[in-house]
Amino acid sequence: MEVTYLAAINQALHEEMRRDENVFVMGEDVAELGGAFKVTEGLLEAFGEDRVIDTPISEALIVGAGVGAAVLGMRPVVEMQFSDFISCAFDQIVNSAATLRYRHGGRAACPLVIRAPSGAGIHGALFHSQNPEAWFTRVPGLKVVAPATAYDAKGLLKAAIRDNNPVVYFEHKRLYRSVREDLPEGEFVVPIGVAELRQEGRDLSVITYGGTVHQVLDAARILDKEDKVSVEVLDLRTLLPLDREAILATARKTGKVLVVHEDRLTGGIGGEIAALIAEHAFDALDAPVRRLAALDTHTAFSPPLEEYILPNTNKIVEALRSLAAY
C-alpha cells in the first residue's frame, strides 16, 4: 500500500515510541488535535498524555524543555508548528543544544529532534512559508536533514531519534500529501550524512534536496525527452554534515553543475556547495557552478507572486538548457 510523506513520518513516530519508552513528543497541539497537519494523529491514544504533550505557544519553552529532558536521558521529539517560528528558539538550539556535548567534554549527550515543517508553494505567505535551514547548517554540534521522499522521511526521522546529537528535521509541507510510495515492511533506517543519487546522467549534474527534488526530476525528464540531454540528480538528504564525496563525485563526472533549493539565493547552502566544488573540483568543471533558488524577498500570499518568487520545473529546465549550452 502506498504511504504518503505525512503518514511515513507518523509511522516513524509510532514505531520509535513503541521501541523506546524514553521517546516522547512535545509541541503545540500535538496531542488532542494530532498536530496542525495531523502528523502526530493517534499518538495520544497509543501512548498517553505523559508521552504526547501539548505545550503553550512558546518555541523557546518547547526546545528548552526538550534540551533539559534530553540531558536527563530522554529522547524528546519537539515540534515547531511552522519552521518560520524556529527563530524564537534560536538561542536554545544554537547556544544550548548544539554546544552541550562540547561544553561537557563529550561526557553528555543531547538526543533531541526538532521537527520543523517548512517550505512554500501552499500560499502560506510571510510567516508560514520559510526555508530556514541555512541558519543552522553552519553550527557545529547540530545535524540538519531535509527528506524529499516518504522512504527518507521515515528512515531519516528514525535515525534522528536514535542519534545522540540534536537534529533539526525539516519536513516540507507541500510534500505531506503530494508524495507517496510503497514502503518496505519491517525495520529500516536512512543514515544521516549520506546523499542519494536519484538519477544517473552524463551531461549535467543537479544537486538539490527537500521540496525541489521532484521538480528537478521532472525537469530532467523534459531535458532527456526534448533535448536529449542526460541529467544526473543528487539528493543531498542531509545538509549537515554534507556528503562532500558525493557532491564532488557528480561534479567531476559531468563537469557542469546546477544547485537548486527553495531557500533564498543569498546565504543559502547552495553558495557553500558551489564553493566546495570550486575549491576541490575546479579542474573538472566545464562551466561555472550555477545556482537556482527563491528570490531574495519575502514569500508572497498572492499565488502568481508566490510562483514568480519560487523555483519551479520550468525555471529549472531553462537553467539546465542554459548550462548545457555553455
The set of catalytic residues is 128
| AA letter at 59 | E
**Interstrand relation of 75-79 and 231-235 (parallel, antiparallel or unpaired):** unpaired
Alpha carbons 278 and 248: distance in angstroms, whole number = 10
Alpha carbons 294 and 292: distance in angstroms, whole number = 7
**DSSP label at residue 45:** H
In the sheet that holds 231-235, the strands lie side by side as 196-199, 231-235, 204-208, 257-264, 290-294
How far is CA 263 from each of CA 130, 241, 294, rounded to the nearest angstrom? 7, 18, 6
Go through 48-61 and write b for each residue having 16 or more CB atoms within 10 A of its CB, e for each that does not. eeebbbebeeebeb
The cell numbers describing 10, all together, are 507518523
Q: Could you give the maximum distance between any two Cα atoms of the chain, in Å?
A: 60
In the sheet that holds 75-79, the strands lie side by side as 52-54, 23-27, 75-79, 113-118, 167-172, 143-145, 238-240
SS3 313: helix
Map grid coordinates 515547531 to a residue. Answer: 80
Nearby residues of 179 by Cβ (< 8 Å), 6 or more positions away: 4, 5, 148, 149, 150, 214
